[in-house]
Amino acid sequence: MKPAPFDYVRPRTLDDAVQALAGRPEAKVLAGGQSLVPLLSMRLAAPSLLVDINALPDLDHVRVDETGVRIGALARHAQVLADPEVRRVQPLVSLALANVAHPTIRNRGTTVGSLVHADAAAEMPMVIRLLEGSVEVAGPSGRRTIEAADLYLGPLESSLHHDEIAVEAFFPALPARTGVAFEEISRRHGDYAMCGVAALVTFDETGAISRVRAGYLSASDVPTVIDLSEPLADGITPASLAKAAAVALDQLDPETDIHATAAYRAHLVEVLTARVVTAAYDNAHQSTQE
């Protein structure tokens, strides 16, 4: 199981990296490689050129201020997960990262790389969509920002052009009176989840629910976010949670694979929607009382 031959460059500047991609639509960017290298080894992908960005300077940052978390293209999952400021300003990033593969994979894999790999079974693409974040990319005509809502076009397909490199991701801070929760269910600890759900619950000034949104992984062929404010407007009850799960399932398309049947995944959507929305609601209560 060896990759097919490819050309390889390891540029020292971002400009050189962008230039190396120009005119090579079959090229791929190599950051952590924890998803890309298996694809190459299994020959599911055979790029003509790898542009290794690991020697680029100043891309391994994790910067946190009160507006949110900015993660550079070479920041490893483990580095982001270990940052207490990230957890304070946007706890959902940390909650989700703890579920990304195993610690050894998180030591090499990058958060930005995971975002642009655009796997609907991965945690971080769903999280950036749910949090309405963005990704900054560098290309031949300069930089541009892609809103998370515009980032995913299809299975493993992002809206980056072939000659663009994602340089930074932005996850907005948790708004006031808002709670978060995350849970996924997998066959084995650290495996791809059969289904995963994250939720944001926001209260208004009176303490009533004003907004509920949930993100779903492995339940559709793209990372999917669903607004559940309407079914849950009158509060969290077994009946309203069941209605919310039905609204979610209506917009999802779970598929059968070797790990789970579509029917089982649909069941997990129902169970996890109720569980995670309830946990986010409780979390919002706690943070409102603090």
Partner 1 sequence: MSTEQLHRIRLQVNGVAHEVEVPARRLLSDALRHDLGLTGTHVGCEHGVCGACTILVDGTPMRSCLMFAVSAADSELTTVEGLANADGSLGPVQQAFRECHGLQCGFCTPGFLTTITAGIKENPSPTEDEAREMIAGNLCRCTGYQNIVKAVCRAAELAAEQSPSTGEPLS
- Tell whether residue 259 is a contact of partner 1 (CB under 8 A): no
Q: Report DSSP state, residue 76.
A: B
State the minimum distance, in angstroms, from the CB of residue 4 to partner 1.
7
Q: Which residues between 56 and 85 bind partner 1 (CB under 8 A)?
A: 78
Q: How far is 159 from 116, CA to CA, in rounded Å?
A: 9
**All residues at 6 or more sequence positions from 27 whose CB lies less than 8 Å from its CB, including other chains:** 20, 21, 47, 48, 49, 50, 51, 162
For residue 269, give both structure tokens.
Answer: 């959507």
- Tell whether residue 3 is a contact of partner 1 (CB under 8 A): yes
Q: Which residues between 175 and 204 bind partner 1 (CB under 8 A)?
A: 189-190
Which of 20, 27, 29, 34 touches partner 1 by CB under 8 A?
A: 34
The interface region with partner 1, picked from 47-55, 60-68, 207-215, 263-271 by CB under 8 A, is 47-55
For residue 105, give both structure tokens.
Answer: 């994979």
Confirm if 86 and 78 have CB atoms less than 8 A apart. no
For residue 34, give both structure tokens.
Answer: 């924890």
**All residues at 6 or more sequence positions from 170 whose CB lies less than 8 Å from its CB, including other chains:** 68, 69, 70, 71, 133, 134, 135, 136
The interface region with partner 1, picked from 98-106, 112-120, 122-130, 209-217 by CB under 8 A, is 98-106
Q: How many residues bind partner 1 (CB under 8 A)?
A: 31
User: Is the Cβ of residue 6 or residue 264 nearer to partner 1 in the bound state?
Assistant: 6
Which of 11, 16, 24, 54 touches partner 1 by CB under 8 A?
A: 54
State the minimum distance, in angstroms, from the CB of residue 86 to partner 1.
18
Strand partners, 65: 68
- Tell whether residue 55 is a contact of partner 1 (CB under 8 A): yes
- Tell whether residue 38 is a contact of partner 1 (CB under 8 A): yes
For residue 40, give both structure tokens.
Answer: 């190459």
Confirm if 70 and 39 have CB atoms less than 8 A apart. no
Site residues (vs partner 1, CB under 8 A): 1-8, 10, 30, 33-34, 37-38, 40-42, 50, 52, 54-55, 78, 101-105, 107-108, 189-190
